[in-house]
Amino acid sequence: MPASNVAQFFLPKELKFIVSKPYKNGFIWEVVKLRNDFEICPKCGSQTNVRCGKVSVTVREAPIRNDPLWLKIHKHRYYCKSCRKPFTESVDCVWPKRRTTYYFRKSVARDCESYTNLSLVRRDHHCSSGFLYKVHYDALKTKLNERKGSPWPTVLGVDEHFFSRRKGYTEFTTVFCDLKKRRLFEMCLGKDKKSIVEQVKHIPGRENVKVVVIDMSNGYRSLIKEFFPNAIIIADKFHMLRLITPALLKVRKNIHGHRQDLQRRRLLLKNREDLDYFVRSDVDEYLQNYPELDELYRIKERLREVYRCRGYRIAKINLERLINQMTSSSLEAVQRLRNTLVKWKDEVLNYFENRWTNGFTEATNGSAKALQRRARGYKNFVNYRLKTLTTCF
């Protein structure tokens, strides 16, 4: 097919094709803008049709069949009578002061999303990485702007994950998830109260939030009490249940050494009701020899039983009974767990009102970490936030 026919198909209507030539590793099309009745002065907005000279610009256009393409646009200069100054006519597909067309930026931004990494996009489009980053993150910003101004959701999950260690100390990010719609809502740098409030105070509708699920961190608890006045706080079930695990594993390690008897380790951590009758009695027989391990194991199972209760009232009775029972124990780990339970009793019991957990928030953390790995870590938090918020929802 002759180039003129292809060009007619691809070019915007206001441009007329003149000739196609080889240029660098692709082609360059010379085009001219069709004459309008009038042009509008960019400074004062008045109309004029007095021409005063010519000028040509070369801009990058979206590739055709993987061949890079440039446009050499012959533009006219116009004279504005009210400003008494000349100006150059504008072309719709090229924004002022840019050397690329709208379609080229769009195709690059699209490839940035679909390729596995940005250096492949750079190789395909033969452009600089600075340009690539700018186009990519501009596109993400535009995408995110559609969600701007949306208020806080009613059910919120809060958690943190690692961000970087570049500044000599470990930086964390705090994520806020909408648990009802199951999507990432907001993300901010740091996990201390002051910096979080600074970053999220512009979001409207704080009083909407009815339920917040967190892990057992005092910082988050006081933040939420202050920042979301109408919210009830739930301590996450998963974090609560695994509080005793490290102590259990430590005692087992002291008895058997590091790698010995790994099969029993698995059995000890498994939920008791998932085990066969014979395996269960085997575990019991084994535990008889080690009273310390036995006590920790029973407490782990008792806490799980509390979580299996139906209804707030029964759970409360069971939890209080467990706390009382733990008072008599001489083990340090048990006392530590008891203190945590006493401190977080209300939050633990709130779980039985509506049974929200932070499962989705943890899943989002997983996706965010996968993104970090794919990019080999992020330096810039703004970019990391843009990428994660547009990907994980």
Where along the sequence are the contacts to Zn ion (CB under 5 A)?
41, 43-44, 80, 83
Q: Minimum CB separation from Zn ion for residue 36, in Å? A: 16
Supply angle C-alpha 115, 117, 120, rounded to 5.
Answer: 75
Closest to Zn ion by CB, 43 vs 242, is: 43
- In this structure, how many other beta carbons lie within 10 angstroms of the beta carbon of residue 108? 24
Closest CA to 117 of 327, 291, 371: 371
Q: Which residue has the tokens 């380790």?
A: 265
Q: Minimum CB separation from Zn ion for residue 88, in Å? A: 13
Would strands 67-80 and 26-33 be described as parallel, antiparallel, or unpaired? parallel
Q: What is the DSSP string of 112-156?
A: HHHSSSHHHHHHHHT--HHHHHHHHHHHHHHHHHTTTTPPPPSEE
Q: Minimum CB separation from Zn ion for residue 134, in Å? A: 31
Listed in sequence order, the DSSP H helices in the chain are 3-10, 102-114, 118-125, 129-145, 193-200, 218-227, 237-241, 245-256, 262-269, 277-287, 291-308, 312-327, 332-343, 345-354, 359-374, 381-391
Would strands 39-40 and 47-48 be described as parallel, antiparallel, or unpaired? antiparallel
Closest to Zn ion by CB, 19 vs 44, is: 44
Q: Minimum CB separation from Zn ion for residue 47, in Å? A: 10
Q: Minimum CB separation from Zn ion for residue 90, in Å? A: 13
**The two three-digit tokens of residue 6, written as one number:** 């292809």
Q: Minimum CB separation from Zn ion for residue 194, in Å? A: 50
Sign of CA dihedral 338, 341, 345, 348: negative
Closest to Zn ion by CB, 82 vs 271, is: 82
Q: Minimum CB separation from Zn ion for residue 85, in Å? A: 7
Q: Minimum CB separation from Zn ion for residue 99, in Å? A: 25
Q: Minimum CB separation from Zn ion for residue 50, in Å? A: 12
Closest to Zn ion by CB, 81 vs 99, is: 81
Closest to Zn ion by CB, 44 vs 55, is: 44
Closest to Zn ion by CB, 44 vs 262, is: 44
Sign of CA dihedral 98, 102, 103, 105: positive
Closest to Zn ion by CB, 42 vs 377, is: 42
Closest CA to 204 of 147, 158, 160: 147
Q: Which residue has the tokens 């085990």?
A: 275
**The two three-digit tokens of residue 176, written as one number:** 């806020």
Q: Minimum CB separation from Zn ion for residue 53, in Å? A: 16
Closest to Zn ion by CB, 48 vs 173, is: 48
Closest to Zn ion by CB, 79 vs 133, is: 79
Closest to Zn ion by CB, 39 vs 160, is: 39
**The two three-digit tokens of residue 363, written as one number:** 């899943």
Would strands 39-40 and 26-33 be described as parallel, antiparallel, or unpaired? unpaired
Closest to Zn ion by CB, 78 vs 344, is: 78
Which H or E run includes 17?
A: strand 15-23
Q: What is the rounded (10 degree) CA torsion for 341, 347, 351, 354?
A: 170
**The two three-digit tokens of residue 84, written as one number:** 């008494």
Q: Minimum CB separation from Zn ion for residue 98, in Å? A: 22
